[in-house]
Amino acid sequence: MLSKPKLKLIRSLELKKNRQSEGLFVAEGPKVVGDLLPYFTPRFIVATRTWLERGTVPAHTEIIEVTDDELAKASFLKTPQEVLVVFEFSNQQVNKSTSQQVATELTLVLDDVQDPGNLGTIIRTADWFGIRQIICSQGTADAFSPKVVQATMGSIARVRVFYTNLPSFLAELPKGTPIYGTFLEGANIYLHPLSPNGLIIMGNEGNGISPAVSRFVTEKLFIPPYPADVITDGAARAKELAHFAESQRTKAKPTGESLNVAIATAITCAEFRRRVFQ
């Protein structure tokens, strides 16, 4: 049976301030819980008999068997999924080794991505494409909120998410570090040279990459819509690129104003990884 104090604790973890103060977060469902158990320490497990009969429970973990109705009272999901776990976590700090990894690996940077669903999808995308760290602005959604954790479908276990002051972090990177960002006046991503390491910056859903962050971008990229009236190569000058972007906005065939940031991130990551096989 789930006690009132335990239920109160679970429900309190919907708020970031409580997750931060307690060092705890919630994950639900056999798939997500199964992926997270090898990576995070469970404080306690709330589960139905159905899950307990087939689930693998770590030794010395508090188990609370509940009915479907009891689980529904604790769950953040519209349809509870047999098991809910309160996990422990510690805030990951950006340090010198984090910056050094950028020199050899591909890293995502998120500038105020605020929708939990978008962040969860981006973390899941990073996991798929072998990107092991994401650097977030302090205004980006919390990676350990219930909605984000569920949207990652377990990928939060394999992708480290850091929060920091982005301009300060970018200013301290080694000189020559490739820093990519997506802009309407950018070069066609399918034709522009791309490196296997460096940073890919994705901006806020409504405002894109902020001026304070965009000044550090060394390579501006553009995902062209279809059909493209003008094809430009990676060495095209800024004037030609601006003409290309304008041609997309004024074509007779209408198209969307922009891509969802999670979709744009997936396309960008796919193109970077595709180059590895060329």
Q: Can you give the chain as a three-state secondary structure string?
A: CCCHHHHHHHHHCCCHHHHHHHCEEEEECHHHHHHHCCCCCEEEEEECHHHHCCCCCCCCCEEEECCHHHHHHHCCCCCCCCEEEEEECCCCCCCHHHHHHHCCCEEEEECCCCCHHHHHHHHHHHHHCCCCEEEEECCCCCCCCHHHHHHHCCHHHCCEEEEECHHHHHHCCCCCCCEEEEEEEEEECCCCCCCCCEEEEECECCCECCHHHHCCCCEEEECCCCCCCCCCCCCCCHHHHHHHHHHHHCCCCCCCCCCCHHHHHHHHHHHHHHHHHC
> Is there a single domain that holds both residue 81 and residue 103?
no
CATH of the domain at 120: 3.40.1280.10
Domain that holds residue 132: 96-277
Task: Output the pLDDT for position 177.
Answer: 92
CATH of the domain at 36: 3.30.1330.30
> Is there a single domain that holds both residue 173 and residue 102?
yes
> Is there a single domain that holds both residue 25 and residue 118?
no
Task: Output the pLDDT for position 198.
Answer: 93
Residue spans of the chain under pLDDT 50: 230-238, 252
> Is there a single domain that holds both residue 43 and residue 127?
no
> Is there a single domain that holds both residue 164 and residue 270?
yes
> Is there a single domain that holds both residue 137 and residue 265?
yes
> Is there a single domain that holds both residue 160 and residue 248?
yes
> Is there a single domain that holds both residue 144 and residue 222?
yes
Task: Output the pLDDT for position 93.
Answer: 74
Domain end point (choices 66, 88, 110): 88
> Is there a single domain that holds both residue 132 and residue 63?
no
> Is there a single domain that holds both residue 54 and residue 102?
no
Domain end point (choices 54, 88, 122): 88
Structural domains counted in the chain: 2
> Is there a single domain that holds both residue 84 and residue 108?
no
CA 79 to chain centre: 24
Domain end point (choices 44, 68, 88): 88
> Is there a single domain that holds both residue 75 and residue 117?
no
